[in-house]
């Protein structure tokens, strides 16, 4: 049975990924930071589909919370086979470099970069045969912004996703001989609440029609790529990036 931790799974891409894993009868840790009710609804959906699930509150940018989340997974579901580093933030509003605060930068890096590294560390400890594990797969949810740099809007966010991409390349090489695969998806414009959180509630409406496919993507479309990368169907794929961008570059 797949045992997978999905960070930031109360909404958006994380929730869609957790639900799709549930349909494959996986055991899923549904991590969330504030949305307890939404996380519980994701758990109920997974259980209804025949999977197992538990909601675990925790901030991925806080080491004690990450340790607790992995300990809960060990206790309830046993050996971890997958991690989806999905939890991520953009910041409260569109900005240029002149207006970025130190706090905004540090919060972004703590959640998006340190959070992903901490979770990867704990996952490798459990998956590596050196520590008694049986291999596994890690999928990082990066962004097209890692390539474009998101000028005049979110370059600090884009830089955090660039760091995630570098981690994907390095960690994939570091653990390839331990049966652990590490890959990433780079979503483009996806219809989730993240845009409203960034003060741009109409972003999908405004920019969707300008995409090559004339629409934004859905969380479910990104989840399909993530779940494939987690699965044995991707058994010889590591250190790779799948763009889920509808053709945007």
Count of CB atoms situated within 10 Å of the CB of 49: 16
Q: Give the residue from 207, 191, 185, 199 showing the smallest Cα distance to 11.
A: 191
Residue 181 in the binding site for ligand NAP (CB under 6 A):
no
Residue 227 in the binding site for ligand NAP (CB under 6 A):
no
Residue 150 in the binding site for ligand NAP (CB under 6 A):
no
Residue 193 in the binding site for ligand NAP (CB under 6 A):
yes
Query: Which of 8/51 has CB closer to ligand NAP?
Result: 8
Residue 248 in the binding site for ligand NAP (CB under 6 A):
no
Query: Which of 60/127 has CB closer to ligand NAP?
Result: 60
Binding to ligand NAP by CB under 6 A, coded x per residue (else -) over 50-69, reads ---------xxx--------
| Number of chain positions touching ligand NAP (CB under 6 A) | 31
Query: Which of 128/228 has CB closer to ligand NAP?
Result: 228
Site stretch for ligand NAP (CB under 6 A), options 12-20, 21-29, 92-100, 173-181: 12-20
Structure tokens at 247: 């053709």
Query: Which of 133/216 has CB closer to ligand NAP?
Result: 216
Site for ligand NAP in 195-214 (CB under 6 A): 197
Under 8 Å between Cβ of 39 and 55: yes
Q: Reply yes or no on whether 32 is catalytic.
A: no
Residue 33 in the binding site for ligand NAP (CB under 6 A):
yes
Residue 108 in the binding site for ligand NAP (CB under 6 A):
no
Termini Cα distance of the chain: 36
Q: What torsion do the CA atoms of 31, 34, 36, 38 make, to the nearest 10 degrees?
A: -80
- Residues annotated as catalytic are 157
Q: Which residues bind ligand NAP (CB under 6 A)?
A: 7-14, 31-35, 59-61, 86-89, 111, 141, 143, 187, 189-190, 192-194, 197, 219
């Amino acid at each position: 049975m797949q045992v997978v931790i999905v960070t930031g799974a109360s909404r958006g891409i994380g929730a869609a990924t957790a639900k799709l894993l549930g349909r494959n009868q996986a055991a899923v840790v549904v991590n969330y930071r504030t949305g307890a009710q939404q996380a519980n609804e994701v758990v109920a959906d997974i259980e209804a589909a025949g999977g197992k699930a538990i909601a675990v509150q925790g901030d991925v940018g806080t080491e004690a919370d990450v340790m607790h989340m992995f300990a809960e997974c060990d206790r309830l579901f046993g050996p971890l086979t997958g991690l989806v580093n999905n939890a991520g933030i953009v910041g409260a509003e569109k900005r240029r470099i002149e207006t970025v605060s130190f706090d905004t930068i540090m919060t972004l890096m703590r959640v998006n970069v340190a959070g992903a590294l901490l979770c990867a560390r704990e996952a490798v400890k459990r998956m590596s045969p050196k520590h008694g594990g049986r291999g596994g797969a890690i999928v990082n949810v990066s962004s097209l912004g890692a390539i474009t740099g998101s000028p005049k809007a979110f370059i600090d966010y884009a830089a955090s996703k660039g760091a995630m991409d570098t981690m994907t390349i390095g960690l994939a090489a570091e653990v390839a001989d331990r049966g652990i695969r590490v890959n990433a998806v780079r979503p483009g414009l996806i219809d989730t609440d993240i845009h409203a959180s960034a003060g741009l509630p109409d972003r999908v409406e405004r920019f969707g029609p300008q995409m090559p496919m004339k629409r934004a993507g859905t969380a479910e479309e990104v989840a399909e790529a993530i779940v494939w990368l987690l699965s044995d169907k991707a058994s010889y794929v590591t250190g790779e990036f799948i763009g889920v961008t509808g053709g945007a570059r």
